[in-house]
Amino acid sequence: MITGCVSNQINENKVIPNETFRSISSGDVIGYIHEDRSHAWLGIPYARAPIGDLRWRAPQEPIPWRGLLKAIEYGPACTQIGSTFGDPEAIEGSVHGSEDCLYLNVFAPKKIDKNEKLPVMLWIHGGSNTIGTSKLYDPSVLVSSERVIVVTINYRLGIFGWFAHPSISEMSVNLEDGSGNYGTLDQIFALKWIKNNIDLFGGDATNITIFGESAGGHNVYSLLFSPLAKGLFNKAISQSGSTKTSSIQDAINYREANDEYNDTISSREIVNQLLVADKLANNRQNAILLQNSMQDSEIHSYLKNQSKEQILNTYYDNLDKKDYMHKVINDGYVMPLDGMNFKSKNLRDIPIITGTNRDEMKLFLAFDPEFASQRFSLTFIKDQDLYDISSEYGSAGWKVAAVDKPASELSSIGNNKVFGYRFDWDEEPKIFLMDLSRILGAAHAIEIPFILGGMELGGLEDFMFDEKNIDEATKLSKTMMSYWAEFAYNGDPAKGRRGDLIRWETWNNLENENKFLIIDTPQDGGVRMNKEALSYEVLVERLLLDNRIPDDSMRCILLKKAAEADWMIDNNIMNSGLCNGLN
């Protein structure tokens, strides 16, 4: 009996039925009926708050609570710079969220047979590993329609999630605390929580799929390679994920003056910035001298005593690239020293879905003043042809890095359960003077509402769907949910849960054999397999022969954008000779 709990209690317009009571490892918890589609438990602490002395340390077991936790509100977002894309409730440019943020949410079908164990899917949100929160993602339609359990999590972001200063390592008592990969360790800890508790929610702890988009897709990839995550999940789905990691040297060392292509923010440089901001040093050179003279214990104490506002504001004010992505660090313990080696035989037997959107780059180009202008809350493209070509090559470069190259390498080592996709839906309406099918198209993140099923994306859905396209879009969403759920059940998307879809074939390296699934509505060709594999070499060749590009200067710019689509400059492209002597 639950003391003080009445069946179907109403709390803040949420129905809290006795049937959602659970006694988990850290205490008693009760959930609610989520929009009449699923049961939900929100804001469950899966680790102790990483504050005070626990800042930049591996997550620890949560403190057990007394009484009944009403899990009906999301936990706070992790500390970040406020952004509409990160959390619409944040004030733009402010320090938003809390360091006490390690909470998760569980969504389950309302009725689960006592002996039924459903597949579990862990959703890892995107946001360049610097912004975002789990509360932006509602998987209740996926849960109720496909009968899966979905867990969504918050994890430490930015400097608080990935920061490897030598003083922290030297003052740490174990390799986890000194790894610098605290956001990755949070995700691993959440997986351990799922292993220990998910059976109480009707989930199968032996059948766990991790999936995520953008930085979430990058983190999915990182969990594939982390030896600490081994055995904690069974399948993986990376949506628009980056494969670029940071070496431990780049994460720590001072920057060289000529290191123009290194996009990793080093911890020593961040300490330099803090010392200057605190007026303990007049400039960077003096900060280096001061930092080199300090004991590890002094730097460690200095960093722990900095407020989150001091750290984030100083860091953000010194960023040249405001949308900088924090990558996992190859520390040699949480992540291998050689990063993501997709020819590793450890990946031979893991089923993997990996894909990108055809027009990934348009979401970013639409806010780039070089390509577009913003007036009266409207977006105007300056040169549509240049816009389209830039997106085409940038998005193709992203696909090479995130899909074609990893899938080819995985297939070469004998993994016959690699499934690639490209999401092509681009049927957005015209609003005022904006043709959103040209401005956004199949842009970055557009696939998320289709996969989660709610047809919502933090307000962006208002620019995506109208009465003319919503029916076909909803049908495509049901198709995608069916594929994703079948993969969660059986490690093969096959023909979807009901067996009524085109078979999604595994990636095949042989010439003229199917490689990946194109996902689109019937009016644009429908769902179909495709045989074309891309490589950086193919992209260079296409650029050289593309008569839509007026000159070599523009070709060089597009080469760089194709490489930067994975947040990197690729040496193979830049050494092609085309950009020699060009600015």
| pLDDT score for 385 | 92
Give dist(CA 255, CA 247) in Å, integer: 13
Fold of 340-534: Rossmann fold (3.40.50)
Q: Cα–Cα distances in Å, from 223 out to 231, 249, 416, 476?
A: 11, 21, 20, 29
Measured from the Cβ of residue 62, the count of other Cβ atoms closer than 10 Å reads 20
| pLDDT score for 112 | 92
Contact 212, 241 (CB under 8 A): yes
| Two structure tokens written together for 420 | 């690639």
The string of pLDDT tens digits covering residues 334-380 is 999 999 999 999 999 999 999 999 999 999 999 999 999 998 888 99
Start-end ranges of CATH 3.40.50.1820 in the chain?
340-534
Contact 394, 565 (CB under 8 A): yes
Query: pLDDT confidence of 259, banded at 50, 70, 90?
Result: low
pLDDT at 576 over 70: no
Contact 365, 440 (CB under 8 A): no
Amino acid residing at 438 = R
In the chain, DSSP finds a helix count (H) and a strand count (E) of: 19, 24
Query: pLDDT confidence of 304, banded at 50, 70, 90?
Result: very high
pTM of the predicted structure, to 2 decimals: 0.94
| pLDDT score for 203 | 98
Measured from the Cβ of residue 317, the count of other Cβ atoms closer than 10 Å reads 9
| pLDDT score for 568 | 42
CA atoms within 13 A on the CB side of 17: 10
The string of pLDDT tens digits covering residues 394-407 is 899 899 999 999 99
pLDDT at 583 over 50: no
β pairing state of 27-30 and 68-70:
parallel
Query: pLDDT confidence of 552, banded at 50, 70, 90?
Result: confident
Give dist(CA 409, CA 348) in Å, integer: 10
DSSP of 374-429, one letter per residue?
Answer: EETTEEEES-HHHHHHHHHHHHHHHHIIIIIHHHHHHHHTT---EEEEEE------
Q: How far is CA 224 from its chain centroid?
A: 14
Give dist(CA 182, CA 97) in Å, integer: 17
Give dist(CA 483, CA 214) in Å, integer: 20
| pLDDT score for 575 | 57
Q: Please list, in sequence order, all residues whose beta carbon lies within 8 angstroms of the beta carbon of residue 491, skipping any fewer than 6 positions away.
A: 234, 235, 351, 417
Q: Please list, in sequence order, all residues whose beta carbon lies within 8 angstroms of the beta carbon of residue 553, skipping any fewer than 6 positions away.
A: 582, 583
Query: pLDDT confidence of 264, banded at 50, 70, 90?
Result: low
DSSP of 203-234, one letter per residue?
Answer: EEEEEEEEEEETHHHHHHHHHHH-GGGTTS-S
Of residues 319 and 182, the one with the higher pLDDT is 182
Q: How far is CA 410 from its chain centroid?
A: 21
Q: Tokens 């919503």 sit at which residue?
A: 470
| pLDDT score for 564 | 59
Partnered with residue 22 across adjacent β-strands are 29
Amino acid residing at 349 = D
Q: Where does residue 373 rank: exposed (0-12), middle (13-18), buried (19+ CB within 10 A)?
A: exposed
- Indicate the range of 44-53, 272-281, 288-297, 550-559 predicted with least confidence: 550-559
pLDDT at 504 over 80: yes
| Two structure tokens written together for 437 | 């099918």
pLDDT at 570 over 60: no
For the chain, what percent of residues have pLDDT higher than 90? 81
Helices (H), ranges, 215-307: 215-225, 248-252, 267-277, 284-293, 296-304
pLDDT at 3 over 70: no
The string of pLDDT tens digits covering residues 132-141 is 999 999 999 9
Phi/psi region, residue 124 (left: phi>0; alpha: psi -120 to 50; beta: rest), is beta
Task: Identify which of 102, 61, 246 has the alpha carbon closest to the alpha carbon of residue 187.
Answer: 102
| pLDDT score for 1 | 27
The string of pLDDT tens digits covering residues 411-460 is 999 999 999 999 999 999 999 889 999 999 999 999 999 999 999 988 88
| pLDDT score for 5 | 41
* Per-chain mean pLDDT for the chain: 92
